[in-house]
């Protein structure tokens, strides 16, 4: 099951079985931000429909994407894609943000520091292993208020000391770049890798050991590398042979240790 399929995902996805994937974690090429071809919207529609078909009921798709600025305006491609996913049956389960320090672009707007991570689900997610962080006020009794009827401010029902840990928020920040995104130097031959920790956090959150994880835009193999380390099965699709070789080396390195 752990394998890399070389080819264009628009065609390769069509060969995959219905309801065979538990989790997809991917970042497509978008808005001509890199030297390789971007995913046109009609091509995206094909991919989105195929992801819906191959996803099991309760499966999750994590779609990491951002927008280019063209002629002074952001494209809004990310929002068009998110809404189309909803149109074909996915739930927009969560709109998350991936923050990272990036080189300044010195234009007449605030510097770009984030990408969207749209968490889409085919029905109610079957798995949610919520990641937690230490509570700032652990052990203290802290009063909270909210508006039950959107008008009247009332105290929260729950009282007592704050728990030691709380559910993590949906804005995730990572260090990126050489020796931060990954220790695997060969991966940086790909121009748009995302951090291994990002893949790890989503794989832990939305899948369990033994589940099958897919990345239809595999690139340097980050999703697969992390999925195998975490005891998941994996399928990756990549059309550029240069990146297929890099990804294969990374996945083989994991397999040799397990």
Q: For 194-226, how does the pLDDT look when each residue is reduced to its tens digit (9 = 90+)? A: 789 999 999 999 999 999 999 999 988 999 999
Same domain, 173 and 211: yes
Please say whether the beta carbons of 139 and 162 come within 8 A: yes
Q: In this prediction, what percent of the chain has a pLDDT beyond 90?
A: 56
Same domain, 154 and 235: no
Same domain, 160 and 194: no
- Token readout for 184 is 């695997």
**Dihedral of the alpha carbons of 86, 90, 96, 102, in degrees to the nearest 10:** -80
Same domain, 160 and 99: no
Domain of 143 in residue numbering reads as 132-167
- Token readout for 131 is 């990641």
Query: What's the whole-model pTM score?
Result: 0.86
Euclidean distance between CA atoms 98 and 131, whole angstroms: 15
What's the structural domain count of the chain? 2
pLDDT in tens, 9-39: 999 999 999 999 999 999 998 655 444 457 8
Tell the residue number behind the tokens 């994407």, with chain if given: 65
Same domain, 194 and 228: yes
């Amino acid at each position: 099951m752990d394998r890399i399929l070389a080819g264009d995902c628009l065609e390769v996805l069509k060969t995959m079985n219905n309801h065979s994937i538990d989790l997809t974690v991917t970042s497509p090429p978008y808005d001509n931000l890199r030297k390789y071809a971007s995913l046109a919207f009609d091509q995206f529609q094909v991919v989105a429909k195929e992801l819906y078909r191959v996803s099991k009921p309760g499966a999750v798709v994590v779609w990491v994407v951002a927008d280019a600025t063209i002629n002074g305006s952001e494209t809004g491609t990310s929002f068009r894609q998110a809404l189309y996913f909803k149109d074909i049956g996915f739930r927009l389960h969560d709109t998350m943000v991936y923050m990272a320090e990036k080189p300044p672009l010195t234009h007449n707007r605030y510097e770009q520091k984030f990408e969207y991570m749209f968490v889409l689900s085919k029905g109610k997610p079957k798995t949610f292993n919520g990641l937690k962080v230490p509570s700032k006020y652990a052990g203290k009794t802290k009063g909270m208020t909210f508006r039950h009827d959107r008008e009247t401010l009332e105290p929260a029902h729950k009282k007592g000391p704050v728990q030691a840990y709380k559910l993590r928020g949906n804005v995730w920040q990572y260090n990126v770049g050489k020796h931060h995104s990954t220790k695997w130097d060969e991966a940086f031959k790909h121009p748009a890798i995302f951090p291994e920790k990002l893949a790890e956090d989503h794989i832990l959150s939305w899948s369990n050991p033994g589940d099958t994880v897919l990345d239809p835009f595999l690139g340097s193999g980050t999703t697969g590398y992390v999925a195998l380390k975490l005891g998941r099965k994996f399928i990756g699709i990549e059309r550029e042979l240069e990146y297929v070789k890099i990804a294969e080396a990374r996945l083989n390195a994991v397999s040799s240790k397990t």
